[in-house]
Structure 1
Amino acid sequence: MTQEEFKILFDKHFDSIRNYIFYRSGNEELATDIAQESFMKIWEKDLIYNEKPIKSLLYKISNDIFISKYRREKVELKYLTKLEPSVNNHSPEKQLQYKELKDTYESALANLSEKQRVVFLMSRNEGLKYQEIADRLELSVKAVEKRMSHALSYLRNALGK
Protein backbone atom coordinates (compact mmCIF):
# COMPACT_ATOMS: atom_id res chain seq x y z
CA MET A 1 0.00 0.00 0.00
CA THR A 2 1.39 3.39 -0.91
CA GLN A 3 1.45 6.39 1.37
CA GLU A 4 -1.28 8.02 -0.70
CA GLU A 5 -3.54 4.98 -0.40
CA PHE A 6 -2.88 4.79 3.32
CA LYS A 7 -3.67 8.51 3.73
CA ILE A 8 -6.96 8.05 1.89
CA LEU A 9 -7.81 5.04 4.06
CA PHE A 10 -6.88 6.93 7.22
CA ASP A 11 -8.85 10.07 6.32
CA LYS A 12 -11.88 8.06 5.29
CA HIS A 13 -12.09 5.63 8.25
CA PHE A 14 -10.23 7.07 11.24
CA ASP A 15 -13.28 8.82 12.72
CA SER A 16 -15.51 5.77 12.33
CA ILE A 17 -12.95 3.47 13.99
CA ARG A 18 -12.44 5.96 16.82
CA ASN A 19 -16.19 6.34 17.31
CA TYR A 20 -16.64 2.55 17.33
CA ILE A 21 -14.16 2.20 20.19
CA PHE A 22 -15.51 5.31 21.94
CA TYR A 23 -19.02 3.82 21.98
CA ARG A 24 -17.61 0.63 23.50
CA SER A 25 -15.37 2.28 26.08
CA GLY A 26 -16.82 5.70 26.80
CA ASN A 27 -13.23 7.00 26.87
CA GLU A 28 -12.36 9.40 24.06
CA GLU A 29 -8.62 9.34 24.71
CA LEU A 30 -8.50 5.54 24.74
CA ALA A 31 -10.57 5.42 21.55
CA THR A 32 -8.14 7.76 19.77
CA ASP A 33 -5.13 5.75 20.96
CA ILE A 34 -6.63 2.46 19.83
CA ALA A 35 -7.66 3.88 16.44
CA GLN A 36 -4.12 5.17 15.87
CA GLU A 37 -2.61 1.86 16.96
CA SER A 38 -4.94 -0.01 14.59
CA PHE A 39 -3.85 2.09 11.64
CA MET A 40 -0.21 1.58 12.59
CA LYS A 41 -0.71 -2.17 12.55
CA ILE A 42 -2.30 -1.93 9.08
CA TRP A 43 0.63 0.16 7.87
CA GLU A 44 3.14 -2.34 9.30
CA LYS A 45 1.41 -5.23 7.53
CA ASP A 46 2.10 -3.53 4.18
CA LEU A 47 -1.03 -4.99 2.59
CA ILE A 48 -2.18 -4.61 -1.00
CA TYR A 49 -4.72 -1.81 -1.08
CA ASN A 50 -8.26 -3.13 -1.22
CA GLU A 51 -10.57 -0.95 0.83
CA LYS A 52 -13.31 -3.40 1.89
CA PRO A 53 -11.13 -6.14 3.41
CA ILE A 54 -8.79 -3.58 4.97
CA LYS A 55 -11.74 -1.73 6.52
CA SER A 56 -12.99 -5.01 8.04
CA LEU A 57 -9.49 -5.78 9.24
CA LEU A 58 -9.27 -2.33 10.88
CA TYR A 59 -12.44 -3.01 12.87
CA LYS A 60 -11.15 -6.45 13.86
CA ILE A 61 -7.75 -5.11 14.95
CA SER A 62 -9.26 -2.22 16.92
CA ASN A 63 -11.71 -4.58 18.61
CA ASP A 64 -8.89 -6.97 19.54
CA ILE A 65 -6.76 -4.14 20.95
CA PHE A 66 -9.72 -2.85 22.96
CA ILE A 67 -10.45 -6.29 24.42
CA SER A 68 -6.79 -6.80 25.26
CA LYS A 69 -6.59 -3.44 27.06
CA TYR A 70 -9.88 -4.13 28.85
CA ARG A 71 -8.66 -7.51 30.10
CA ARG A 72 -5.33 -6.04 31.22
CA GLU A 73 -7.17 -3.26 33.07
CA LYS A 74 -9.41 -5.84 34.73
CA VAL A 75 -6.39 -7.83 35.94
CA GLU A 76 -4.73 -4.65 37.24
CA LEU A 77 -7.89 -3.65 39.09
CA LYS A 78 -8.24 -7.11 40.59
CA TYR A 79 -4.61 -6.98 41.74
CA LEU A 80 -5.04 -3.52 43.25
CA THR A 81 -8.17 -4.52 45.16
CA LYS A 82 -6.32 -7.54 46.53
CA LEU A 83 -3.36 -5.37 47.45
CA GLU A 84 -5.31 -2.84 49.51
CA PRO A 85 -8.47 -4.15 51.18
CA SER A 86 -11.40 -1.84 50.69
CA VAL A 87 -12.40 -0.09 53.88
CA ASN A 88 -14.72 2.45 52.26
CA ASN A 89 -17.85 0.47 53.04
CA HIS A 90 -17.05 0.17 56.75
CA SER A 91 -17.91 2.46 59.60
CA PRO A 92 -15.47 5.24 60.58
CA GLU A 93 -14.51 3.24 63.68
CA LYS A 94 -13.59 0.21 61.58
CA GLN A 95 -11.61 2.42 59.19
CA LEU A 96 -9.73 3.96 62.11
CA GLN A 97 -9.01 0.52 63.59
CA TYR A 98 -7.75 -0.68 60.22
CA LYS A 99 -5.50 2.36 59.83
CA GLU A 100 -4.10 1.96 63.36
CA LEU A 101 -3.45 -1.74 62.80
CA LYS A 102 -1.82 -1.02 59.44
CA ASP A 103 0.39 1.69 61.00
CA THR A 104 1.37 -0.65 63.84
CA TYR A 105 2.17 -3.42 61.37
CA GLU A 106 4.27 -1.12 59.17
CA SER A 107 6.12 0.20 62.21
CA ALA A 108 6.78 -3.32 63.51
CA LEU A 109 7.95 -4.38 60.07
CA ALA A 110 10.35 -1.43 59.96
CA ASN A 111 11.76 -2.44 63.36
CA LEU A 112 12.64 -5.97 62.21
CA SER A 113 16.26 -6.54 61.34
CA GLU A 114 16.87 -6.24 57.63
CA LYS A 115 17.63 -9.95 57.31
CA GLN A 116 14.36 -10.92 59.04
CA ARG A 117 12.33 -8.35 57.09
CA VAL A 118 13.71 -9.56 53.75
CA VAL A 119 12.89 -13.19 54.51
CA PHE A 120 9.44 -12.30 55.87
CA LEU A 121 8.50 -10.15 52.85
CA MET A 122 9.81 -12.69 50.35
CA SER A 123 7.66 -15.32 52.00
CA ARG A 124 4.51 -13.25 52.49
CA ASN A 125 4.51 -10.81 49.57
CA GLU A 126 6.12 -12.95 46.89
CA GLY A 127 4.75 -16.26 48.17
CA LEU A 128 8.14 -17.97 48.02
CA LYS A 129 8.83 -21.20 49.83
CA TYR A 130 11.70 -21.39 52.31
CA GLN A 131 13.82 -23.36 49.82
CA GLU A 132 13.31 -20.69 47.15
CA ILE A 133 14.23 -17.95 49.61
CA ALA A 134 17.30 -19.88 50.68
CA ASP A 135 18.37 -20.29 47.05
CA ARG A 136 17.90 -16.58 46.25
CA LEU A 137 19.72 -15.38 49.37
CA GLU A 138 22.31 -18.16 49.23
CA LEU A 139 21.43 -19.35 52.75
CA SER A 140 20.55 -22.66 54.27
CA VAL A 141 16.88 -23.50 54.72
CA LYS A 142 17.51 -23.63 58.49
CA ALA A 143 18.77 -20.03 58.45
CA VAL A 144 15.63 -18.95 56.58
CA GLU A 145 13.43 -20.84 59.06
CA LYS A 146 15.21 -19.21 61.99
CA ARG A 147 14.87 -15.69 60.56
CA MET A 148 11.22 -16.29 59.74
CA SER A 149 10.54 -17.67 63.21
CA HIS A 150 12.08 -14.60 64.85
CA ALA A 151 10.22 -12.25 62.51
CA LEU A 152 6.86 -13.90 63.20
CA SER A 153 7.47 -13.94 66.93
CA TYR A 154 8.39 -10.24 66.93
CA LEU A 155 5.37 -9.30 64.80
CA ARG A 156 2.99 -11.29 67.03
CA ASN A 157 4.26 -9.46 70.08
CA ALA A 158 4.22 -6.06 68.37
CA LEU A 159 0.67 -6.55 67.13
CA GLY A 160 -0.49 -7.84 70.51
CA LYS A 161 -1.64 -11.28 69.46
Structure 2
Amino acid sequence: MPKKLDNNICEEITFARIYNKYAKDLHDFLYYKFGEQFNPSDKAQDAFMKLWDNCKKVPVDKAKSYLFTIANNMMLNEVKHQKVVLKHQKIKPEHYTNESPEFILEKEQFLELYQKALEKLSEEQRVAFMMNKAEGKKHSEIAEMLGVTQKVVEYRIYTAFSFLKNELEGFKIK
Protein backbone atom coordinates (compact mmCIF):
# COMPACT_ATOMS: atom_id res chain seq x y z
CA MET A 1 0.00 0.00 0.00
CA PRO A 2 1.45 3.44 -0.94
CA LYS A 3 2.60 5.70 1.84
CA LYS A 4 0.02 8.39 2.66
CA LEU A 5 1.28 11.91 2.05
CA ASP A 6 0.87 14.73 4.54
CA ASN A 7 -2.44 16.56 4.57
CA ASN A 8 -1.27 20.02 3.50
CA ILE A 9 0.08 20.59 -0.03
CA CYS A 10 1.21 24.10 0.95
CA GLU A 11 4.07 22.62 2.98
CA GLU A 12 7.21 22.54 0.88
CA ILE A 13 8.08 18.98 1.78
CA THR A 14 4.64 17.70 0.80
CA PHE A 15 4.64 19.69 -2.43
CA ALA A 16 8.13 18.40 -3.27
CA ARG A 17 6.97 14.82 -2.72
CA ILE A 18 3.98 15.35 -5.01
CA TYR A 19 6.21 16.97 -7.61
CA ASN A 20 8.75 14.16 -7.49
CA LYS A 21 6.03 11.54 -7.64
CA TYR A 22 3.96 12.95 -10.55
CA ALA A 23 6.17 15.28 -12.64
CA LYS A 24 7.59 12.66 -14.99
CA ASP A 25 4.25 10.89 -15.38
CA LEU A 26 2.49 14.17 -16.12
CA HIS A 27 5.11 15.15 -18.70
CA ASP A 28 4.94 11.75 -20.36
CA PHE A 29 1.13 11.81 -20.43
CA LEU A 30 1.14 15.22 -22.14
CA TYR A 31 3.93 14.22 -24.51
CA TYR A 32 2.25 11.02 -25.64
CA LYS A 33 -1.19 12.60 -25.97
CA PHE A 34 -0.26 15.92 -27.66
CA GLY A 35 3.33 15.63 -28.89
CA GLU A 36 6.38 17.83 -28.45
CA GLN A 37 5.12 20.84 -30.46
CA PHE A 38 2.92 22.06 -27.58
CA ASN A 39 5.73 22.05 -24.98
CA PRO A 40 4.58 19.37 -22.54
CA SER A 41 7.39 20.27 -20.12
CA ASP A 42 6.13 23.85 -19.85
CA LYS A 43 2.53 22.77 -19.42
CA ALA A 44 3.51 20.29 -16.71
CA GLN A 45 5.39 23.04 -14.88
CA ASP A 46 2.43 25.40 -15.27
CA ALA A 47 0.12 22.75 -13.81
CA PHE A 48 2.37 22.46 -10.75
CA MET A 49 2.39 26.23 -10.42
CA LYS A 50 -1.41 26.24 -10.43
CA LEU A 51 -1.38 23.49 -7.83
CA TRP A 52 0.92 25.63 -5.68
CA ASP A 53 -1.34 28.67 -6.15
CA ASN A 54 -4.36 26.61 -5.09
CA CYS A 55 -2.64 24.40 -2.52
CA LYS A 56 -5.12 25.28 0.25
CA LYS A 57 -8.10 24.31 -1.91
CA VAL A 58 -6.79 20.98 -3.22
CA PRO A 59 -6.65 18.00 -0.86
CA VAL A 60 -3.56 15.80 -1.09
CA ASP A 61 -5.49 12.77 -2.30
CA LYS A 62 -6.88 14.81 -5.24
CA ALA A 63 -3.53 16.34 -6.29
CA LYS A 64 -2.83 13.86 -9.06
CA SER A 65 -6.27 14.26 -10.58
CA TYR A 66 -6.02 18.04 -10.27
CA LEU A 67 -2.60 18.13 -11.97
CA PHE A 68 -3.59 15.92 -14.87
CA THR A 69 -6.89 17.74 -15.43
CA ILE A 70 -5.28 21.19 -15.35
CA ALA A 71 -2.41 20.15 -17.64
CA ASN A 72 -4.78 18.44 -20.08
CA ASN A 73 -6.99 21.55 -20.22
CA MET A 74 -3.96 23.75 -20.83
CA MET A 75 -2.91 21.57 -23.73
CA LEU A 76 -6.43 21.55 -25.18
CA ASN A 77 -6.49 25.36 -24.96
CA GLU A 78 -3.15 25.49 -26.74
CA VAL A 79 -4.40 23.19 -29.49
CA LYS A 80 -7.51 25.32 -29.90
CA HIS A 81 -5.37 28.47 -30.06
CA GLN A 82 -3.12 26.94 -32.72
CA LYS A 83 -6.18 26.07 -34.81
CA VAL A 84 -7.33 29.69 -34.67
CA VAL A 85 -3.85 30.89 -35.62
CA LEU A 86 -3.74 28.53 -38.60
CA LYS A 87 -7.22 29.57 -39.68
CA HIS A 88 -6.20 33.23 -39.70
CA GLN A 89 -2.98 32.48 -41.54
CA LYS A 90 -4.98 30.87 -44.35
CA ILE A 91 -7.14 33.97 -44.78
CA LYS A 92 -5.34 36.26 -47.18
CA PRO A 93 -6.33 39.91 -47.17
CA GLU A 94 -7.75 41.07 -50.44
CA HIS A 95 -5.44 43.49 -52.19
CA TYR A 96 -7.71 45.76 -54.11
CA THR A 97 -8.64 49.40 -54.06
CA ASN A 98 -11.72 51.35 -55.01
CA GLU A 99 -9.53 53.79 -56.92
CA SER A 100 -9.52 53.54 -60.67
CA PRO A 101 -6.25 53.00 -62.53
CA GLU A 102 -6.69 56.46 -64.09
CA PHE A 103 -6.96 58.05 -60.65
CA ILE A 104 -3.87 56.23 -59.41
CA LEU A 105 -1.92 57.35 -62.48
CA GLU A 106 -3.08 60.94 -62.08
CA LYS A 107 -2.14 60.85 -58.40
CA GLU A 108 1.36 59.61 -59.21
CA GLN A 109 1.79 62.23 -61.92
CA PHE A 110 0.59 65.00 -59.62
CA LEU A 111 2.96 63.84 -56.89
CA GLU A 112 5.84 63.92 -59.38
CA LEU A 113 4.90 67.47 -60.46
CA TYR A 114 4.54 68.50 -56.82
CA GLN A 115 8.04 67.20 -56.03
CA LYS A 116 9.49 69.11 -58.99
CA ALA A 117 7.67 72.28 -57.95
CA LEU A 118 8.97 71.94 -54.38
CA GLU A 119 12.51 71.64 -55.75
CA LYS A 120 12.05 74.97 -57.57
CA LEU A 121 11.29 76.80 -54.29
CA SER A 122 14.11 78.53 -52.48
CA GLU A 123 15.44 76.58 -49.52
CA GLU A 124 14.00 79.10 -47.04
CA GLN A 125 10.53 78.86 -48.63
CA ARG A 126 10.63 75.08 -48.86
CA VAL A 127 11.78 74.64 -45.25
CA ALA A 128 9.15 76.99 -43.82
CA PHE A 129 6.39 75.55 -46.04
CA MET A 130 7.20 71.92 -45.24
CA MET A 131 7.58 72.54 -41.51
CA ASN A 132 4.16 74.17 -41.50
CA LYS A 133 2.21 71.92 -43.85
CA ALA A 134 3.97 68.55 -43.54
CA GLU A 135 4.98 68.65 -39.88
CA GLY A 136 2.11 70.83 -38.66
CA LYS A 137 4.29 73.32 -36.81
CA LYS A 138 2.94 76.76 -35.96
CA HIS A 139 4.43 79.90 -37.43
CA SER A 140 5.85 80.93 -34.05
CA GLU A 141 7.55 77.54 -33.60
CA ILE A 142 9.10 77.73 -37.06
CA ALA A 143 10.31 81.28 -36.43
CA GLU A 144 11.96 80.21 -33.20
CA MET A 145 13.61 77.18 -34.83
CA LEU A 146 14.90 79.16 -37.82
CA GLY A 147 15.90 82.22 -35.81
CA VAL A 148 13.73 84.65 -37.79
CA THR A 149 10.61 86.65 -37.01
CA GLN A 150 7.16 85.23 -37.35
CA LYS A 151 6.37 87.70 -40.16
CA VAL A 152 9.31 86.34 -42.18
CA VAL A 153 8.00 82.80 -41.75
CA GLU A 154 4.50 83.87 -42.78
CA TYR A 155 5.91 85.59 -45.89
CA ARG A 156 7.97 82.52 -46.86
CA ILE A 157 4.98 80.21 -46.50
CA TYR A 158 2.71 82.61 -48.41
CA THR A 159 5.16 83.00 -51.30
CA ALA A 160 5.75 79.21 -51.44
CA PHE A 161 2.01 78.60 -51.50
CA SER A 162 1.49 81.20 -54.24
CA PHE A 163 4.28 79.67 -56.33
CA LEU A 164 2.87 76.14 -55.95
CA LYS A 165 -0.61 77.37 -56.79
CA ASN A 166 0.69 78.89 -60.04
CA GLU A 167 2.81 75.83 -60.91
CA LEU A 168 0.22 73.14 -60.17
CA GLU A 169 -3.30 73.03 -61.49
CA GLY A 170 -5.85 72.40 -58.74
CA PHE A 171 -3.35 72.86 -55.89
CA LYS A 172 -5.10 73.43 -52.55
CA ILE A 173 -3.94 72.93 -49.00
CA LYS A 174 -5.96 73.14 -45.85
Provide the TM-score with structure 1 as the length reference.
0.51
In structure 2, the partner of 1:64 is 73
**Which of 144, 153, 157 matches 2:100?**
153
Higher helix proportion: 1
Q: Which amino acid aligns with 2:61?
A: K
Is the Cα–Cα contact under 8 Å of residues 38 and 61 in structure 1 kept in the other structure? Answer: yes
Query: Aligned equivalents of 2:59 and 2:92: distance in 1?
Result: 49
How many pairs were matched up? 96
In the superposition, relative to structure 1, how do residues 19 and 155 fare at CA in structure 2: closer, same or farther (>3 Å)? farther
Q: Which amino acid aligns with 1:55?
A: K
Residue 92 of structure 2 corresponds to residue 83 of structure 1: yes
In the superposition, relative to structure 1, how do residues 49 and 83 fare at CA in structure 2: closer, same or farther (>3 Å)? same
Question: CA-to-partner distance for each residue in 1:22-80, whole Å, 9 max, x for gaps?
Answer: 01111177110100000000001122674331110111100110000110011001111
Query: Aligned equivalents of 1:10 and 1:36: distance in 2?
Result: 10
Is the Cα–Cα contact under 8 Å of residues 5 and 49 in structure 1 kept in the other structure? Answer: no
Q: CA deviation at 1:157?
A: 7.2
Matches within 5 A, 1:2-151: 2-27=11-36, 30-47=39-56, 50-83=59-92, 149=98
Q: Which amino acid aligns with 2:78?
A: K
Provide the TM-score with structure 2 as the length reference.
0.48
In the superposition, relative to structure 1, how do residues 2 and 83 fare at CA in structure 2: closer, same or farther (>3 Å)? farther
Q: Which amino acid aligns with 1:53?
A: K
Query: Aligned equivalents of 2:89 and 2:25: distance in 1?
Result: 34
Is the Cα–Cα contact under 8 Å of residues 38 and 78 in structure 2 kept in the other structure? Answer: no
Question: CA-to-partner distance for each residue in 1:62-111, whole Å, 9 max, x for gaps?
Answer: 011000011001100111111389xxxxxxxxxxxxxxxxxxx6xxxxxx
Query: Aligned equivalents of 1:24 and 1:84: distance in 2?
Result: 35
